[in-house]
Amino acid sequence: MERISSFCVDHNALQPGIYLSREDTTPSGDVISTYDIRMRAPNHDPVMSITSAHSIEHLGATFLRNHADWSKKTIYFWPMWCRTGMYVLFSWEPSGEEVVKIIQEMYAWVAELDESYPIPGATAAECGNYLDHSLSQAKNDAKKFLEIIKDKNTLDEYKYL
Ligand SMILES: [Zn+2]
């Protein structure tokens, strides 16, 4: 089997940031853009807790799917299971500046949520592991990442192996 392209990125050189991972064209001609939202330096920083990544998934997906401009363009948002970040898929080729801006907006929203905000979809009927959530951990992780990305206006670039 060939090594897939995302494994060719030098993870030891990877710093927290926002990266374009793939651009794929579907058979019907639509472009799907995949971004790595790298919240921790791989193999260096402590990883996120599963609980935090799970809550960021519920919160971020809800934010994007309710966003006036981005709801129709968002395909999916979910955690990397190395627990160093999240992925997001958009259904066209946004500019790097647009992507950085919406991700800053999303993390700022999570970071600033009131402690009493109910995590969306966190009931037994709505989620496969509904007790495994923590708003405070999600808010802390969002704050940490926002500190890193708050002054960025372009995507970061990969170093390849
Ligand atoms: Zn869930």
Each domain of the chain, given as residue ranges in start order, spans: 5-149
95 CA from centroid of ligand 1 (Å):
30
The answer to whether the beta carbons of residues 134 and 52 sit under 8 Å apart is yes
CA separation for the pair 84, 77 (Å, rounded):
14
97 Cα to the center of ligand 1, angstroms: 30
Cα gap 11→69, rounded to integer Å: 32
Cα 23 to middle of ligand 1, angstroms: 27
Residues written for the chain: 161
Is the pTM for the entire model greater than 0.85? yes
Q: How far is the CA of 76 from the centre of ligand 1 (A)?
A: 14
**What is the mean predicted confidence (pLDDT) over 120-130?**
98
Given pLDDT bands bounded at 50, 70 and 90, which one contains residue 55? very high
- Binned at pLDDT 50, 70 and 90, residue 5 comes out as confident
Q: Report the separation in Å between the CA atom of 160 and the middle of ligand 1, taken as the mean of its atom positions.
A: 33
Q: What is the pLDDT of residues 64-97, one digit of tens each?
A: 999 999 999 999 999 999 999 999 999 999 999 9
Average pLDDT value for the chain: 97
What is the Rg, in whole angstroms, of the alpha carbon atoms belonging to the chain? Answer: 16
Q: State the pairing for strand pair 31-38/85-90.
A: antiparallel
Inter-residue contact 99 to 90 (CB < 8 Å): yes
5-149 is a CATH 3.40.1830.10 domain:
no
Q: Assess contact for 33 and 102: CB atoms under 8 A.
A: no
Q: What is the CA(13)–ligand 1 centre distance, in A?
A: 31
